[in-house]
């Protein structure tokens, strides 16, 4: 701010040179003066030279007001320069040079502020030796010879970043012999700066690791620029594509039902639908295992899988944006659907001798069952006392009913199916049977059988009472 001959860099340049310079500034006149000569870079350029420079901002005065130079005279030169400026005044007002008298204007151009951030719009500048730029994001700045070599995230690939925020490990090294200050700028798809800051100092030749968290962001693609500064200079920037994806759905919950499960979860910002994954197995799936899982796409925040069998199933869910970008998956949950018993194996009769205690009759501890999905299982069984009530000394047929004892809650028996088996108590054969030949006869002797009182012993050829 001044009264007259005011410039963003130099008030009056008398036969001097202003080159490879820039000003991002507002130049104004704080009180009226005749011949104010207000310039974005130089107020009055008398026989001097302004070259390879630019100005961004505003210039306000009353007379001879220019975006680069207010008044250019005496064979003064203004060349290879740009101005992205708003100028205002009463007389001799121009976006580049307010008034030029016997001077030379060579290759000077007006640009918009957005154009001043695009390398393609600044082809007069030397971006190999003099200038650097974060294309689309920053204005040109003085180039430093050092270099930031990134190792992570990979500049050649999009880095997935959850929309609810997350840490980004930034790794690399500094090529050069100067200590640089590592800086970043985060811009959206329209190159609007959203975040910028300093990560920290790094010595030349050293590797570095910084952790950054950019907070919540809407799903979409962003540009993360990283570069190092030394004084007024900076290295070329490295651009990393940051793909902001829907956050992992929270509150994933599973309810076990008969041969089915029902999943519910919380809505995710930016998601228009969801991918629901199902995979069967005893162990939790690894990250790559989900690629082979059964996937369903739904628009609600609930989904049921039906027709499931016996065993453990694992589930996860992710949000999907309108352009098909899939977000982070929720931590996996597991469930074991309830599967009913469909049938019980048929058991053969168990014959026992008279006098066999029930605990020695050989009732099986386990039986085979088939579940509704075809799975065969062995279940423990709890037998009743028989019908009629078992009597070890009374020959006859006793029917036992066994209650099934499922090994886990995934096996259900809504039909109340049971195991059945018959125990047949048989008369024991006489022991120690002996035959003695006699005159035209045979004398038989045996040990009487243990029979229920009132029973008869039947021998071949007819009954014979008693036994000796």
User: Do the Cβ atoms of 74 and 102 come closer than 8 Å?
Assistant: yes
Q: Which residue has the tokens 């500048």?
A: 125
Return the beta strands (E) in 104-219 as ranges.
104-110, 131-132, 141-143, 147-152, 159-162, 167-175, 180-187, 193-202, 207-213
DSSP code string of 427-450: PPPPEEEEEEEETTEEEEEEEPP-
Closest CA to 27 of 72, 106, 83, 79: 83
Closest CA to 318 of 273, 358, 360, 283: 273
Partner residues linked to 105 by β-bridges: 78
Interatomic CA distance for residues 180 and 87, integer angstroms: 37
Kindly report the length of the chain.
468
- 149-180: string of b/e by CB count within 10 Å (b at 16+)? ebeebebeebbebbbbebebebebbbebebeb
- The helix or strand, by DSSP H or E, that contains position 42, with its residue range, turns out to be strand 42-46
User: Do the Cβ atoms of 261 and 205 come closer than 8 Å?
Assistant: no
Domains of the chain, with CATH numbers? 6-121 (no CATH), 131-245 (2.60.40.2550), 253-336 (2.60.40.10), 340-426 (2.60.40.10), 431-463 (no CATH)
pLDDT at 455: 46
Interatomic CA distance for residues 18 and 143, integer angstroms: 18
pLDDT at 222: 94
pLDDT at 15: 95
Q: Give the pLDDT means over successive 10-residue stretches in the chain (468 positions).
A: 83 95 91 77 96 96 94 96 95 94 96 96 96 95 92 86 90 90 94 93 92 91 94 93 93 97 95 95 91 90 96 96 93 97 97 95 97 96 97 96 93 96 87 79 71 52 49
pLDDT at 468: 42
CA-based torsion, 80, 85, 89, 93: positive or negative? positive
Whether residue 317 has a cis bond before it, omega within 30° of 0: no
pLDDT at 466: 47
Q: Is 442 exposed, middle or buried (0-12, 13-18, 19+ CB in 10 A)?
A: exposed
Q: 291: helix, coil or strand?
A: helix
**pTM check: above 0.75:** no
User: Do the Cβ atoms of 414 and 433 come closer than 8 Å?
Assistant: no
For residue 28, give Cα distances in angstroms to 23, 41, 115, 261: 14, 12, 24, 72
């Amino acid at each position: 701010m001044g009264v007259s001959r005011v410039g963003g860099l130099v008030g009056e340049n008398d036969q001097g040179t202003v080159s490879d310079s820039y000003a991002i500034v507002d130049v104004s006149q704080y009180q009226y003066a005749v011949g104010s000569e207000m310039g974005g870079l130089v107020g009055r350029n008398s026989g001097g030279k302004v070259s390879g420079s630019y100005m961004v901002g505003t210039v306000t005065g009353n007379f001879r007001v220019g975006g680069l130079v207010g008044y250019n005279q005496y064979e003064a030169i203004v060349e290879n320069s740009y101005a992205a400026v708003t100028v205002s005044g009463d007389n001799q007002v121009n976006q580049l040079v307010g008034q030029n008298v016997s001077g030379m204007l060579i290759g000077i151009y007006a640009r918009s502020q957005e154009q001043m951030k695009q390398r393609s719009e600044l082809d007069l500048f030397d971006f190999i030796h003099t200038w650097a730029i974060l294309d689309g994001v920053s204005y040109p700045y003085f180039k430093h010879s050092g270099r930031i070599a990134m190792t992570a995230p990979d500049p050649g690939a999009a880095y997935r970043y959850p929309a609810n925020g997350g840490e980004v490990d930034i790794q690399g090294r500094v090529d050069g012999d100067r200590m640089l200050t590592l800086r970043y700028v985060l811009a959206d798809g329209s190159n609007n700066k959203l975040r910028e800051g300093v990560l920290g100092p790094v010595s030349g030749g050293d590797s570095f690791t910084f952790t950054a968290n950019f907070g919540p962001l809407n799903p979409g693609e962003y540009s993360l620029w990283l570069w190092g500064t030394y004084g007024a200079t900076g290295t070329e920037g490295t651009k990393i594509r940051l793909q902001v994806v829907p956050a992992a759905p929270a509150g994933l919950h599973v309810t076990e039902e008969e041969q089915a499960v029902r999943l519910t979860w919380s809505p995710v910002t930016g998601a228009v639908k969801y991918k629901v994954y199902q995979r069967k197995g005893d162990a939790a799936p690894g990250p790559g295992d989900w690629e082979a899982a059964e996937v369903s796409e739904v628009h609600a925040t609930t989904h049921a899988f039906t027709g499931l069998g016996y065993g453990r199933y694992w589930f996860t869910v992710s949000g999907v944006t309108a352009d098909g970008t899939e977000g982070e998956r929720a931590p996996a949950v597991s469930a074991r659907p309830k599967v009913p018993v469909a049938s019980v194996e048929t058991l053969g009769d168990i014959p026992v001798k008279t006098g066999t205690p029930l605990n020695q009759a050989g009732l099986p501890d386990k039986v085979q069952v088939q579940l509704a999905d075809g799975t065969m299982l062995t279940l423990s069984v709890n037998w009743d006392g028989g019908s009629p009530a078992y009597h070890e000394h009374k020959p006859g047929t006793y029917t036992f009913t066994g209650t099934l004892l499922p090994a886990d809650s995934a096996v259900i028996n809504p039909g109340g199916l049971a195991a059945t088996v018959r125990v047949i108590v048989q008369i024991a054969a006489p022991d120690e049977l002996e035959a003695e030949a006699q005159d035209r006869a045979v004398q038989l002797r045996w040990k009487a059988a243990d029979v229920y009182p009132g029973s008869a012993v039947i021998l071949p050829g007819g009954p014979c009472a008693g036994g000796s």
